[in-house]
Structure 1
Amino acid sequence: MMIMRRYLPTFTALQCFEASARHLNFTHAAKELNLTQSAVSHQVRNLEKFLGVDMFKRVGKKLVLTPDGERYAKDVAQNMDVLEACTLSVMTQSKPGNVLNLGTFPTFGSIWLIPKLADFSKKHPNIQLNLETRTDTFDLHNSHLDMAILFGNGTWPETVSHKIAEESTIAVCTPKLIEDKTDLTPEDVQNYPLLRLKSRATAWLEWMQAKNITSKNFVSGPCFEQFNMLIRAAHAGLGVAVLPTFFVQDELDNGELIAPFGKAIKSENAYYLVYSQRKSGDTNIKKFTNWITQLD
């Protein structure tokens, strides 16, 4: 079978073009790449010849991108970022020592996990822990991640899971929102905007069921992508938010947020450290698992 060669310009030409597109100046691009100005402009001309279109044009003394140049510069920069990230990842993991890649939710990682990590680093100084955050699902079978922190019932296909934190949720708002009203009941929450989280579509319904409330209307209100945005929205007085208690404990303690609609309720789900069954024998994963499952 004939193997077709990729139809690509040289990487040197792409580097010279990408740097020139950022600086809009061949001399500055040359300085960044440790080349001569003539070498950079020569590489750009070769690229234009390869592509069959002009990437730059002169407007007076200024160098500007053509429309084709603007589109190509954006695509080249994005793909070079990906290549650089892949390269650094391989370089990091090939160095002496040990690396663990952990996926976690943004707010859980910043509020619950990161403040505790100094202890892990102290106990295991030879293990480098890299964190990756996202709000959607982590693929532990076909990715570079070794482990992930997931929220659920502890059951995911072909994985090993360890419960690390239970969750309770509480309805909170800023004191200004309720305007000094006292003796509010859980039912009164329906008189205020209900702030929602995209990934927890049923949070308010579960809270109301736990409080034995029959909702007057379909639960609606401003929706946010991440917990930290939801917390900031509650701070800003946009409405009432149902949040994990440990995300807002400091604000509740100092009075920035209040919980006038009743005590916290225990969530049915919890946070788990999860990894593929194929990695159950990994020594570093065992060390991290032992550490994180012993936290309060």
Structure 2
Amino acid sequence: MALRADWLPALTAFESAARHQNFAHAAEELHLTASAVSHHVRKLESRLGVALFQRHARGVSLTAEGRQLADAAGSALADVEGVLRSLRGAREEHDRVRLTTLHSLAYTWLMPRLPAFTRTHPQVRLSVDTEIALTRFDDGGPDLGIRHGPGHWPGLTSHFLMDEALFPVASPSYPALPDIRTPADIARQPLISDHARQGWHDWFRGANVHGPRLDERYSFSDTTDAMNAAVHGLGVSLARSRIAAPYFERGELIRLPGPELTARWGYFIVYPAHRRLRPAAQTLVDWLLDTVRS
């Protein structure tokens, strides 16, 4: 007997009822009524010419024929469900982009812009890794990264994304704020730094403040932590223009006297030179580049 398409609803209802040994529970699982499940089962029994359930006051139980069909139907539907899940997962994986970048950039620059990307490209699924360690682009690793550096890394294709500038900031409520009128006044404050190679000594040299004995009292591995330390009034932080922008928008930090020093390094989109980007990853690269141009 050929299995026609109109048998599938009845087999699905029967398989669920057989697992639960209860029509009401099967109905709940399938978003049907108990009477609809019962109708499907009776239709199946009529076509097969055998009773699949024994019906009694406390519910139903499978007959021998019902048990035989339940085993076969359960196995077949589980196989189909497994294939569907695999195909769905393959589609989702095809549309997933794994991006590695700095936590500070993800938090202050990328995150506020992602809603616009999602509205334009809702099919792309994004996984963001912000580990401090320099990520290797092995098989199964990230598709691309946004790195802060000179722009040249062995084995990687690199696209310039944007530059940045350095300048001092403090909280508007910082107690010593009235005493800070020149860059030399900043040198007498508790200073907050991050682990970037270009820091306070470079800025003071650019501000023509020579020979100060600097009190770099607080140092953080992440730039956003250095910004937050300034927000809480611990001292003066050397801000990076791309990272500091949301702190200015929220009124949590203000810029102090002194020059804006062009940073030695910028931000670059990188990915393995030997590997062609998948369409979803290329979509993200194009959007990032368009974002900084607009």
Structure-2-length-normalised TM-score: 0.63
Gaps of 5+ in 2: 1-85
- Alignment match, 1:23: none
The letter for the 1-side match of 2:153 is: W
Indicate if the aligned counterparts of 1:169 and 1:266 stay in contact, CA closer than 8 A.
yes
Q: How does 1:75-86 map to 2 (within 5 A)?
A: none
Counterpart of 2:120? 123
Q: What is aligned with 2:158?
A: 161
Question: In the alignment, what sits opposite 1:256?
Answer: 252
Whether contact under 8 Å (2:187, 2:214) holds in the other structure is: no
Q: Which residue number corresponds to residue 77 of structure 1?
A: none
* AA of the residue aligned to 2:191: L
C-alpha contact 1:204 1:219 (8 A) present in aligned 2: no
Check if 1:187 corresponds to 2:189: no
- Give deviations 1:38-85, integer Å, cap 9, x for gaps: xxxxxxxxxxxxxxxxxxxxxxxxxxxxxxxxxxxxxxxxxxxxxxxx
The answer to whether the 8 Å contact 2:191/2:214 transfers is no
How far apart are residue 203 of structure 1 and its match? 1.0
- Does the 8 Å CA contact 1:107/1:226 hold for their aligned counterparts? yes
Q: Corresponding residue for 2:279?
A: 283
Give the superposition deviation at 1:125.
Answer: 2.5
Name the CA distance, whole Å, in 2 between partners of 1:133 and 1:109.
Answer: 8
CA gap of 1:143–1:205, structure 2 versus 1, over 3 A, is farther
Matched residue, 1:227:
223
Q: Structure 1's 254 and 282: CA in aligned 2 closer, same or farther, altered over 3 A?
A: closer
1:149 aligns to 2:146 (yes or no):
yes
Q: C-alpha offsets along residues 243-270 of structure 1, whole Å, 9 cap, x if unaligned?
A: 1123223433554322222243221211
Determine which of 196, 202, 213 is the counterpart of 2:198. Answer: 202
Q: Does 1:294 align with 2:290?
A: yes
- Shifted more, 157-166 versus 279-288: the winner is 279-288
Structure 1 Cα separation of the partners of residues 135 and 257 of structure 2: 35
Which amino acid is the alignment partner of residue 183 of structure 2? P
Shift of 1:175: 3.1
Q: Distance in 2 between matches of 1:244 and 1:187?
A: 20
Deviations 1:200-245 (A, max 9, x none): 1431122112212213225632111212211111011111110112
SS in 1 for 2:114: helix
1:215 aligns with 2:211: yes
Q: CA deviation at 1:110?
A: 1.5
Distance of 1:233 and 1:226 partners within structure 2: 11
Task: Report the counterpart of residue 33 of structure 1 in structure 2.
Answer: none
User: Equivalents in 1 of 2:212, 2:88: separation in Å?
Assistant: 56
Q: Percent identity?
A: 22
Give distance in 1, aligned partners of 2:140 and 2:275.
13
Q: Which residue of 1 aligns with 2:133?
A: 136
Q: Are residues 282 and 180 of structure 1, via their aligned partners in 2, closer, same or farther at CA, if it must alter by over 3 Å? A: closer
Q: 1:246 matched to which residue of 2?
A: 242
CA contact (8 A) 1:164 1:295 kept: no
The 1:193/1:180 distance shift into structure 2, 3 A limit, reads: closer
User: Are residues 93 and 158 of structure 1, via their aligned partners in 2, closer, same or farther at CA, if it must alter by over 3 Å?
Assistant: farther
The alpha carbon displacement at 1:142 in A equals: 6.0
SS at match of 2:257: coil
Shift of 1:180: 4.9
Deviation at 1:183, TM superposition (A): 6.4
Could you tell me how far 1:276 is from its partner in structure 2? 0.5
Amino acid at match of 2:137: L
Unaligned residue ranges in structure 1 (runs of 5+) = 1-89
Aligned residue type for 1:273: I
Instruction: Report the number of matched residues.
Output: 206
3-state secondary structure, aligned to 2:274: helix
Q: For residue 95 of structure 1, report the CA deviation from its aligned partner.
A: 4.3
Tell me the equivalent position of 1:173: 170
Residues of 2 paired with 1:153 and 1:280: CA distance? 23
2 CA distance for matches of 1:218 and 1:91? 60
